[in-house]
Amino acid sequence: MLNKALDAKVRHFEEDETGVDEMCELMQKLARQETYDNTVRIAENALNEGASIAFTAKITNLPIHEVEAIAERLGKKTA
């Protein structure tokens, strides 16, 4: 590589055991965030289609207070 600092960092993440562990943790965190973001999009779609807050919470496994917050953000009735 042309950049020695970048080369050292890449080698750390590819070859050093602690670097590999760090990269694995980061990838797991990114995967969890993507899963959560998709779940929120499903909740938004369900609420926009007229699903109740209780039903949306049930199908997404999100806490009801979180679905209520999503509904409020979308301008949907929460009562």
Rounded to two decimals, the pTM is 0.75
**Residue 79 DSSP one-character state:** -
**Residue 32 belongs to some domain of the structure:** yes
**Residue 79 belongs to some domain of the structure:** no
**Residue 20 belongs to some domain of the structure:** yes
The count of domains in the chain is: 1
Query: Which residues constitute the domain of residue 57?
Result: 4-73
Please list the pLDDT of the chain residue by residue as tens digits (79 residues). Answer: 568 888 888 888 888 888 888 999 999 999 999 999 999 999 999 999 999 999 999 999 999 999 999 999 999 876 5
**Residue 45 belongs to some domain of the structure:** yes
- Which tokens sit at 34? 């993507």
Report the first-to-last Cα separation within the chain, whole angstroms: 59
Burial of 58 (C-beta count, 10 Å sphere; 0-12/13-18/19+): middle
**Residue 78 belongs to some domain of the structure:** no
**Residue 28 belongs to some domain of the structure:** yes
Cα distance between residue 8 and residue 60, in whole Å: 42
